[in-house]
Amino acid sequence: MVKNEEKLHKFAESLIKRAGLPFEEAGGRAREIVVFGSRAAGVHSPKSDLDLLWVSSSPGRRVKRAGLDLLWLTPEVVEGHKWRGSELAAHIAAHGRWLQGTGDWKAGVFSSPAAVEKKRRQLQDRIRGLEVNWSGLSMPYRRRLFTLVRRDLQRLELLEKGHPVPPTPLLDRDWQNVDDPIGWVLRWLPEVSDLSEREKMRFARYSAELFSVQFPAWEGQVSRHPETRF
């Protein structure tokens, strides 16, 4: 484990320097340096960015370049109620790897109603955008956009249950173990409460269309499934 932390620390240092940031100076002032996301969980691809939380009383700007996604926060922010109730705070508390500091705020994280509502709004926007553009999209692009919605539905399920959201590759792995994907989508779609019944039904039909291409035996399942009664 120590070797893994040292490897992560060196990798983080190299990316920060490549991004043109003074690692030695900033690192000396940092209260916490935390790797999170797919690299922290060891499920990354060679092209995955390094997600880094940097807690310092002298924060800088958010940095997204050179394979680095660095989020700067102050100690006051990470100790606050709003941060501890956020989706990202719960994710980092559960899956983050501390290169510096201890993360005392971890014990106080929770899934807040605001985090759940934020995810519902994100899903609403994604589904409405999909509906507007569906007829003009190729099948590969339809699958890509459906995957974004499906992942957010998975995240919503976890937030509703008070569980931390894992890195995206772990969401995809869990999806492979779902026995009834259409049924699962239909079960959680009603939780996107601001969508109209018409919008929900259309998305359910789009989902069935995608799955019927891959699994012809499921054709027509949406109209028969009891969960379609929104």
DSSP 177-230: T-S-HHHHHHHHGGGSTTS-HHHHHHHHHHHHHHHHHH-GGGTTHHHH-GGG--
Shared domain for 126 and 145, answered yes or no, is: yes
Shared domain for 117 and 211, answered yes or no, is: yes
Shared domain for 131 and 218, answered yes or no, is: yes
* Residue 45 burial (CB count, 10 A): 8
- Higher-confidence residue: 3 or 163? 163
CA torsion sign for 40, 106, 71, 86 is positive
Shared domain for 117 and 222, answered yes or no, is: yes
Shared domain for 88 and 119, answered yes or no, is: no
Tokens of 125: 């926007």
Q: Give residue 61's pLDDT.
A: 73
Shared domain for 83 and 125, answered yes or no, is: no
**Which of 53, 84, 108 lies at the terminal end of a domain, its last residue?**
108
Range of the domain at 119: 113-228
Tokens of 47: 């092209």
Shared domain for 88 and 151, answered yes or no, is: no
**Which of 51, 82, 108 lies at the terminal end of a domain, its last residue?**
108
Shared domain for 93 and 20, answered yes or no, is: yes
Alpha-carbon dihedral of residues 41, 44, 48, 50, nearest 10 degrees? 20
pLDDT band at 163 (very low <50, low <70, confident <90, very high): very high
* Residue 145 burial (CB count, 10 A): 18
CA dist., res. 167 & res. 43, Å (int):
8
Shared domain for 81 and 52, answered yes or no, is: yes
Q: Answer whether residue 227 shows pLDDT above 60.
A: no
* Residue 166 burial (CB count, 10 A): 20
- Higher-confidence residue: 223 or 199? 199
Contact 185, 208 (CB under 8 A): no
**Which of 80, 108, 136 lies at the terminal end of a domain, its last residue?**
108
The total number of structural domains in the chain stands at 2
List, for residues 9-54, the tens digit of each pLDDT value.
Answer: 788 888 878 877 766 655 557 889 999 999 999 999 988 899 999 9
pTM for this entry: 0.85
Q: Answer whether residue 221 shows pLDDT above 50.
A: no
Q: Answer whether residue 222 shows pLDDT above 80.
A: no
Shared domain for 79 and 22, answered yes or no, is: yes
Q: Give residue 220's pLDDT.
A: 46
Tokens of 69: 């996604």
Q: Give residue 98's pLDDT.
A: 93
Tokens of 38: 């797919």
Q: Which runs of consecutive H residues, i.e. helices, occur in the chain?
A: 2-18, 23-29, 38-41, 75-78, 81-84, 87-95, 113-133, 139-160, 168-175, 181-188, 197-214, 221-224
The CATH number for 99's domain is 3.30.460.10
- Amino acid type, 211: F
